[in-house]
Amino acid sequence: MTDNVTTERADGWVTLTLNRPSKANALTGEMFGAIGDAFEEFTAADTDGVTVRGAGGDFSAGVDMSGVPEWAAMNPLEVRNELEPIHDSLRAVEALDAPVVAALEGHVLGGGLELALACDIRVASETAEFGLPESEMGLAMDLGGPQKLPSFVGEGLTKYLVMTSERIDAQRAHDAGLVEEVHTAAAFESAVADLQATLAAKPTYIHGLAKRQVHSVRPDNLDDAMQQAIHHAIAAYNEPETQERVESFFSE
């Protein structure tokens, strides 16, 4: 477990915190690995549920971009081998036979939003803002946003978020179906605690069965589409304009 991902258990409930506040909890491959390892260790027998949140007032500003320029010196298989374990970590979040709550504040962007989509229930503070900024740099998304978002908000808003890189506030996210609850900043912590208590009061196995039932009606090609997204990401990065945009991002 990296210091940038921490876990704390109170009775049967676990809080997993993205702990990189100086970088708005931007996610590294190591952090995704730690998330996956933690969820692999959690079991429904000893875990009533998990809340995923960020330190310092932000959930996550997305994937840390520092490793992306290195893709130019790597062959496609090497890039694929970096991205596939991240997919495995997201699957581990989804597969836990206990409820997973995303407590969302501040930035919920890019890979951070895609991590929130892997959770079961999303609770937002009014401070939260949601977006998918990848297109600004000519990057294709690779962690499930375009594949999973339509079932939450429909094709239109999915395309809007992906294509424009515009952000939406917590109220619009709630109205669209992206988050299940939105609260004032002052009421946010108590709302998260209340939801945890509500979920913990039910048999954990019932939550596990519910998750399996809901996931059973997902599109049959979801895993294939996720795998295809990796290839799209590699193809987009090999475009000269994308490399120019990424270089410009780091020179600012």
* 3-class SS letters over the chain: CCCCEEEEEECCEEEEEECCHHHCCCECHHHHHHHHHHHHHCCCCCCCEEEEEECCCCCECCECHHHHHHHHHCCHHHHHHHHHHHHHHHHHHHHCCCCEEEEECCEEECHHHHHHHHCCEEEEECCCEEECHHHHHCCCCCCCHHHHCHHHHHHHHHHHHHHHCCCEEHHHHHHHCCCCEEECHHHHHHHHHHHHHHHHCCCHHHHHHHHHHHHCCCCCCHHHHHHHHHHHHHHHHCCHHHHHHHHHHHHC
Backbone angles phi, psi at 63, to 5 degrees: -75, 135
Tell me whether residue 134 is one of the annotated catalytic residues. Answer: yes
pLDDT at 37 exceeding the cut of 90: yes
pLDDT digits (tens, 9 = 90+) for 93-103: 999 999 999 99
Between residues 198 and 223, the one the model is more confident about: 198
pTM of the model: 0.95
List the catalytic residue out of 30, 82, 105, 134.
134
Tell me whether residue 114 is one of the annotated catalytic residues. Answer: yes
What's the average model confidence in pLDDT over 64-91? 88
pLDDT band, residue 252 (cuts 50/70/90): confident
pLDDT at 38 exceeding the cut of 80: yes
List the catalytic residue out of 114, 136, 239, 241.
114
pLDDT digits (tens, 9 = 90+) for 90-146: 999 999 999 999 999 999 999 999 999 999 999 999 999 999 999 998 999 989 899
Between residues 166 and 1, the one the model is more confident about: 166
Task: State residue 6's pLDDT score.
Answer: 97
CA distance linking residue 127 with residue 169, whole number of Å: 8
pLDDT band, residue 15 (cuts 50/70/90): very high
Catalogue all structural domains in the chain, each as residue range(s) with its CATH number.
5-205 (3.90.226.10)
Q: Would you give the distance in Å from CA 193 to the centre of its chain? A: 21
Task: State residue 41's pLDDT score.
Answer: 94
pLDDT at 1 exceeding the cut of 70: no
